[in-house]
Amino acid sequence: MTTAPNAPANPKASRKILVVEDEEALALGIRDAIEHAGHAVSVALDGDAALEIAQGGDFDLIVLDLMLPGQSGLDVLRKLRDNQHTVRVLVLTALADEEDLIRGFEAGADDYMKKPFSPRELLARIEAQWRARARSSCARGVSRDIDAADSTRRFVMIRDARGANARNGTKRNGIDYT
C-alpha cells in the first residue's frame, strides 16, 4: 500500500453493498439511501437469499439484519466467516439485549446499528467502514508508524473479540492472530 497513514478514503468511491432485511419497506428505504450516496446495492429479504447472494458476489459491505425468517443473520454471518469471507458486516438489530450484540461481534460483525436509526447515521457508519479498512491496510505496510500502530492496536482489540478468528489464527486484513 502506498497510501499515507492518515490519507482519507476516497469519499466518492462507489462500493458494492448487500442489504439484508426482511421488512421490505425498510430494505428498500435503506437501499435508496445508500444508492443516493453513490453505491451499488443488492437486496436480500431472507437469510437463505442473503447467503447465496453474499457468496456469489464481491461485496464491500453487508448491512445485515439479525432477525430474519429462515436462518438468522447470525447464522449467515457465522457461515460467511467459516468460509473465510472477509467482507465487512454492519449488523442491524432491534434487539436491546447486550448478549445478542456480543454474539454478533463474536460471529464477526464489524459494527452494529440499533433500530430505529436515521439514514444519516447509517451512511456515516458505512463510510466509517471504508476508513477503518484504509487504516488496517496502512498498518500492514508501515507498522512502525505511530498512527498506524495505534490503528493496528484498535483493530486487533476489535478483532480479538471474534472467538472464531482468534481460535483458528486466521490472518485477515494483514493482522496475524498468532
Residues that bind Ca ion (CB under 5 A): 22, 65, 67
Which residue's CB comes closest to Ca ion?
A: 67
Which of 47, 1, 59 lies closest to 21 in space, CA to CA? 47
Cβ at position 65, least distance to Ca ion in Å: 4
The residue among 23 and 147 lying less far from Ca ion, judged by its C-beta, is: 23
Cβ at position 6, least distance to Ca ion in Å: 38
The residue among 65 and 110 lying less far from Ca ion, judged by its C-beta, is: 65
Q: How are strands ordered across the β-sheet holding 16-20?
A: 40-44, 16-20, 61-65, 88-93, 111-114
Nearest 10 degrees: Cα torsion 78, 66, 158, 164: -20
CA–CA gap between residue 145 and residue 148 (Å, rounded): 5
Cβ at position 161, least distance to Ca ion in Å: 24
The residue among 22 and 110 lying less far from Ca ion, judged by its C-beta, is: 22
